[in-house]
Structure 1
Amino acid sequence: MKMKYVILFIGLLLFSCKSPEARRPVTQESGSYINEAVERNRKIVAKEEAQIQKIIETDTMRNYISSANGFWYYYNKKDTTAAKTPKFGDVVEFDYNLKTLGGRVIYTDDEIAPRTYAIDQEELFSGLRQGLKLMKEGETVTFLFPSHKAFGYYGDKKRIGADVPLISTVTLIDISEAPEANQENNN
């Protein structure tokens, strides 16, 4: 009887030592979908930037500035005396609107209403988040955002569709220091 268990134990050891084999996928993709998506996005960006450049070329009354973040802007009202721009965590109050490149109003500043935003700590589309950091209190700036700096492929799921470049006129009403900075100054 003991011999039976010994043989069974040896048999289990021999068959259980086999390492598991990796399963192979049934189909293999070559990555062509990703390459097609990249090419599609390049064409969209080039088309939108050409539209923006056409606006800039035809508008000789304003001095457009190209930002390092991939959008363009001009000052409606510039403050040359103030030096303070918002930093990480600062709370800003601002007013803005959103229009298509053709000038059709999507959201008026009254619909959006003045809003507060903690710099880089809340959700806001990337172009506006980066644009606010360029502004000083009391300034009004008009931004031209390609769709990848606005709401991108998904839009806002309300009035802004996929891949819509935007114009936004923003007024920075107030900059308040980050709450942590205020506590440090009081100590």
Structure 2
Amino acid sequence: MKKIVFISVVSLFSCNRNTQTAHPPVGGILSQKDLDVSKERMKNLNIIERGHIQEWIKVQPEKYYPTQLNYWVTVEGFDQRDKRPDNSLISYSYDLYDFDQTKIYDQAVERRDAKFGHFDELKAVENALRFIKDGEEVTLLVPSSLAYGTYGDEKKIDNDIPLIIKLKAL
């Protein structure tokens, strides 16, 4: 029930048209005022999402630990490990879930021999790949700002949706 309330509150917040302005398509030009409004909206949304994620964590049997980049992971001290260097190769896969723990896509996203510094990935995934060990599996709890943000993925993921990402280094 808390999961449904969480998603409902996030959806209601993102639908409040009184405080939002229309954003031009990607590549469009925003005034400084529009940029400031958008930045403030994302800041407020992030605070709300973080609070809901922390409440969700409290009722989970698994422990989650905050990272410096603003997401949670199932490994304590995860982002304190040695980082993988730029231009090193990594193969990985991940599945996306909503906070009802419903899998969003049937097929996992998988990349083979991706080179750091040369691939475009979700911010939280790219950051986690820097610290994950070969063969390790971790779960990330990611606010929408580090996932698909205000645009969604234009397929199954709407705008402003926080995600659970199950990531594995192959």
- TM-score, normalisation: structure 1: 0.65
More deviation, 135-144/42-51 = 42-51
CA distance in 1, matches of 2:135, 2:51: 31
Residue 143 (str. 1) matches residue 135 (str. 2): no
Q: How does 1:76-155 map to 2 (within 5 A)?
A: 86-108=84-106, 110-113=107-110, 115-155=112-152
User: Is contact 1:96-1:168 (8 Å) kept?
Assistant: yes
Q: CA offset at residue 34 of structure 1?
A: 3.9
Structure 2 unaligned regions, length at least 5: 1-30
CA distance in 2, matches of 1:140, 1:84: 17
SS at match of 1:143: strand
What do residues 72-129 of structure 1 show as CA deviations (whole Å, max 9, x unaligned)? 0104xx9xxxx87532111111121001122121124x34345442112111111100
If you compute each CA radius of gyration, which structure gives the higher value, 1 or 2?
Answer: 1
Give the letter for the 1:57 counterpart: K
Q: CA offset at residue 63 of structure 1?
A: 2.4
CA distance in 1, matches of 2:112, 2:105: 14
User: Is contact 1:120-1:129 (8 Å) kept?
Assistant: no
Structure 2 vs 1, CA of residues 35 and 86 (structure 1 numbering), >3 Å: closer, same or farther? closer
Give the letter for the 1:100 counterpart: D
What do residues 144-180 of structure 1 show as CA deviations (whole Å, max 9, x unaligned)? 010111111111111111111110111101xxxxxxx
RMSD: 2.3
Aligned residues: 136
Q: CA offset at residue 38 of structure 1?
A: 2.9
CA distance in 2, matches of 1:121, 1:155: 22
User: Is contact 1:84-1:137 (8 Å) kept?
Assistant: no
CA distance in 2, matches of 1:106, 1:116: 25
